[in-house]
Structure 1
Amino acid sequence: MHHTSTAGSNKWLLSEPNKDSQARIFCLPYSGCGASMYRLWPKFFGDIEICPVQLPGRESRVRDRGYKSYEDLVKDMIEELSPYFDKDFAFFGHCGSALIAYEATLQLQTKGICIPKRLFISSQVAPHEGPFGRFLHLTDEELRIELEIITRKMGGVPIQDLLDFQVSILCKDIGMNKRYSDKEIVQLVSPLVTFGWTNDSEINPNQMTGWSQYGEVSQHLIEGDHYQFLSAPEEFVKIIQGSMK
């Protein structure tokens, strides 16, 4: 058990959630990245607070031991985030982190803790159809090149020493993704909202239809590439706001 948070400081979040927010979306960073990847998003979509989640082993939690499986990661994560489930809330995940968002929704439902209002999934196949993705088969050097591209897309400058470290995180995250296999289809109480992107070279939107077997699903196709969501495009924000009403 990694329970270490104290009143007013929770290392799973970049900042303490606002007590007055109407709703919260816990946004999970995708493979190899930390919570700062959401820095281009506004703090609120209307009256919905955006709460980027900081996973262990990266950025402000660089010294915290990582996990071997999404299941173990999520078990500790939902325990630490549980004080903030007192408002309407949802999980958002893109690519690999969509599976963490799904696993969190599933564990909360299975344990009878509480039910997220929505599960937002971007650019990922349904769990029973994975593991899937080009990244799962790349060498360390190829992953390094991808991380340079991602860093620039997020408005940063790649730093060589840092990239070595990020590659090691990415390899661990990819390992968790590969182990998250042979999943059965579970009916979720939380409605799902899926986002496919017209020019996504990693996941074709047609490969996301399997989510419709997990319960009530609203599917959306938005203009843009695999990284378009990083800039919080207007149509994307509107759909999220409308879904949380």
Structure 2
Amino acid sequence: MTTEPAAALYACAITHVRTTPRRYALRHRTYMWLIDPDHPPRLPRRLRPLARFDPRDHFTGDLPSIRAGLDGFLAEHGVDLDGGRVEMLTHARVFGYVFNPLTLYWCHGPAGEPRCVVAEVHNTYGGRHCYLLRPDATGAARTDKEFYVSPFFPVDGGYRMRLPRPGPRLDLTVHLDREGTRAFTATVRGTRRPATAAALLRLALRHPWSTLAVSTAIRVHGIRLYLRGLPVQPRPGHRTPEKAT
């Protein structure tokens, strides 16, 4: 499999811990890709059903490339990378299906200096929303919550994130703070592997239909919380921010 230098695979453990109004935890294993969206991996024909990176799955979904969608979003917020490199952490389409709760873009200027991070969030209702972040040297950033994700949390509070660039280890944390307390924490921990055909096959066999399993697990746990009496918050009308006025 021919790949650009940035391409890598991460075998991940993802945890969700809800602390209010009652404690509940979800943990599952999957794998994610780190790619340069300007140069996505080129897979042998027989492996292509296992990984496809489709511009329709990101930003407005109507631009010819993922990088064009990213640049369009950044331009709306007054950011120009001047052709600098981007690292994208995401799930790929597997057998035509993908669900990406969180895609991250580490954006750099032409000399390699960090400019910003974009966090693209998808919910299970088909909506998506992007946050423009300015992390400090440790990868820490804050932003107000602006998008309906869980049916058990309203759109209020704020996120505290720790998003260091992926290296040999992947170590990401997102906290949701509401009313002065930590209401929810998500973590992604992973180990980097070369994006070879053998590594992809091993991970795909270990985690078949990987993103379908993620979305199914989220829905199943949501049903369990509902049956335990957790109140559902009304879902506000929401257009993707890239198309909103």
- TM-score band (shorter)? under 0.3
Give the structure-1-normalised TM-score. Answer: 0.26
- Structure with the larger strand share: 2
In terms of fraction of residues, the more helix-rich structure is 1
Report which of the two structures shows the higher radius of gyration computed on alpha carbons: 2
